[in-house]
Structure 1
Amino acid sequence: MEQLKAGIIQQTNTGNISDNRARLASKIRLLAADGAQLIILQELHDSLYFCQTENTDLCSLAIEIPSDVTGFYSALALETKSVLVTSMFERRAPGLYHNTAVVF
C-alpha cells in the first residue's frame, strides 16, 4: 500500500501579508524537501485571522480568483511538486465574499 506524506502549517501571522506569505513559502519548501506531497495551510493564512467579528472595513483583504495571489501559490506548488490546500478570502463580485479553499 502506498502512503501519502502530508504536512500542515499553522503559524502566527502579522498584519504584513508579504511577510506572512514569505514565511509560508519557506515552510512549504521545507516540508516538500522533507517529502511532503500534500501541504495544508491554516484558514485564511495570508493575514491576521479576522472572522471573529463582522467588519466591512476588512473586505479590502479579499482577492479575486484568479489573481497574483493564486499565481504565487500555483507557482509554489509547481516548484515544490506538491499539492497545496489554501484558504483565501475571495471577492466574487461587489458585496459577495467567500472563505474559499483553493487546491493547487
Structure 2
Amino acid sequence: MANIVTIGLVQDTASDDLAANVTRAVARVRDAAARGAQIICLQELFNAPYFCKSVKPERFDIAQPADGPIVHTFQALAKELAVVIVLPYYEREAPGLYRNSATVIDADGSVLG
C-alpha cells in the first residue's frame, strides 16, 4: 500500500502590518493541519507584500536571519502540530546580503534546511 502525504498550500493577502500577516499565517497553518495536511507550504514572502521583482533597500528592514524570530515561531508551531512547514521569508545573511529564502521545518520543530 502506498503512503499518502497530504500537502496544504497557503495563499493569502499580505499587508504592511507584518505582525498581522504572521498571525494570519499561523491561523492558516493551524487550519491546514486540522484538515489533515502533513506538509504545509506558505506563500513566497508571506509576511509582507511581495516586492522581490527588484531590489528595494527600503524593505531591508523586514529581513531576518535564518535563526530569527519568524523561524522560531514556526518551529514551535510545526512541533506543536507535528507538521512540516516550508517557510519562505526575506533573509538577512549578513550586513548588505539579503535574499528571498525559505527554511524547511520538520514535524519535530528542527530545521531541515
- Secondary structure of the equivalent of 2:41? strand
TM-superposition CA deviations, 1:70-91 (whole Å, max 9, x none):
1101011111110000111111
TM normalised by structure 2 equals: 0.88
- The whole-number CA distance in structure 2 between the counterparts of 1:4 and 1:45 is 23
Match of 2:3 in 1: 2
2:63 equivalent to 1:62: yes
Give the root-mean-square deviation of aligned CA atoms. 0.9
- Secondary structure of the equivalent of 2:31? helix
Cα offset for 1:100?
1.2
Identity %: 35
- The whole-number CA distance in structure 1 between the counterparts of 2:64 and 2:42 is 17
Instruction: Map 1:1-104 to 2 at 5 A.
Output: 1-104=2-105
Unaligned stretches of 5+ in structure 1? none
TM-superposition CA deviations, 1:11-57 (whole Å, max 9, x none):
01100011111111111111101110000010011111111332211
Structure 2 contact 22–47 (Cα < 8 Å) conserved: yes
Unaligned stretches of 5+ in structure 2? 106-113
- Ranked by relative contact order (alpha carbons within 8 Å, sequence separation 6 or more), the top structure is 1
Structure 2 contact 78–85 (Cα < 8 Å) conserved: yes
Equivalent pairs, count: 104
- The whole-number CA distance in structure 1 between the counterparts of 2:53 and 2:84 is 29
The 10-residue stretch of structure 1 (52-61 or 7-16) with the greater mean CA deviation from structure 2: 52-61
